[in-house]
């Protein structure tokens, strides 16, 4: 099998970094796109290609993908992981905050996947993985824009899977619960927010980035070509479900 190439958005830390490292450990050549530099990720991955920019910026994405193809020759896997999730009452959410969540969480995967598609088609094989959220099922009242954006991402996943099936490209989503990352700790607090979610799960511990790695590797596996249009709910058996 030829060496595969993967692009992971939001790869500077947390879940995106773990995904990038896991893919590299399986032999993938990996590029990461994030708003900030990714020195920790680069330290963990030989021959890592760091792309700095906004997933909602079409020009940045286009230039980044050119660098990926120039460096690695092709592209097979896209992991749309970058996301934002401000928590506040709905009536206090400004239109600009709403638009920012939609731009990053929903328009970003659209722009990245659209720009990557010619390369996936040229490779003759592809996997698109969108990171959704179990919040679409639990519907926390302080995260209305986030829940709306992730529900849209699930719809995007289902429809795009049908559109890309003729090209041997699968499209699936993974829906984690609240993962322990630096961003989550800043958003909900290191204690109360995690405890609230944890107490409503069958698995009574906080989800770690490593808990999602095996699911990602299953979805992108060569043998998973019959799996498409699905949302894999990896949420520790939330009591709301």
* Active-site residue, from 28, 48, 85, 146: 146
How far is it, in rounded angstroms, from Cα 33 to Cα 11?
6
- Measuring CA to CA, which residue among 58, 36, 40 is closest to residue 48? 40
Q: Which of 169, 199, 173, 217 is nearest to 24 (CA)?
A: 217
CA distance 196 to 201: 9
Q: Is position 48 annotated as part of the catalytic site?
A: no
As annotated, the active-site residues are 146
């Amino acid at each position: 099998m030829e060496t595969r190439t993967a692009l992971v958005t939001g790869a500077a830390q947390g879940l995106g970094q773990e995904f990038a490292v896991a893919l590299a450990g399986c032999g993938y050549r990996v590029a990461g796109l994030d708003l900030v530099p990714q020195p920790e990720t680069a330290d963990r991955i030989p021959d890592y290609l760091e792309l700095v920019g906004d997933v909602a910026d079409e020009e940045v994405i286009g230039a980044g993908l050119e660098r990926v193809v120039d460096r690695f020759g092709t592209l097979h896997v896209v992991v749309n992981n970058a996301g934002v999730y401000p928590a506040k009452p709905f009536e206090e959410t400004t239109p600009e905050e709403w638009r920012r969540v939609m731009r990053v969480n929903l328009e970003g995967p659209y722009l990245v996947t659209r720009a990557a598609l010619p390369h996936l088609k040229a490779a003759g094989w592809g996997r698109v993985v969108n990171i959704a959220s179990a919040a679409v099922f639990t519907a926390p009242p302080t995260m209305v824009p986030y829940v709306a954006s992730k529900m849209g991402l699930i719809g995007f996943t289902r429809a795009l899977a049908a559109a890309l099936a003729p090209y041997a490209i699968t499209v699936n989503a993974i829906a984690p619960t609240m993962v322990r990352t630096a961003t989550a700790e800043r958003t909900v607090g290191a204690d109360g927010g995690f405890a609230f979610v944890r107490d409503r799960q069958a698995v009574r511990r906080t989800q770690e980035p490593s808990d999602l790695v095996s699911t990602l590797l299953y979805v992108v596996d060569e043998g998973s070509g019959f799996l498409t249009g699905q949302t894999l709910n990896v949420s520790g058996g939330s009591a709301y479900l």
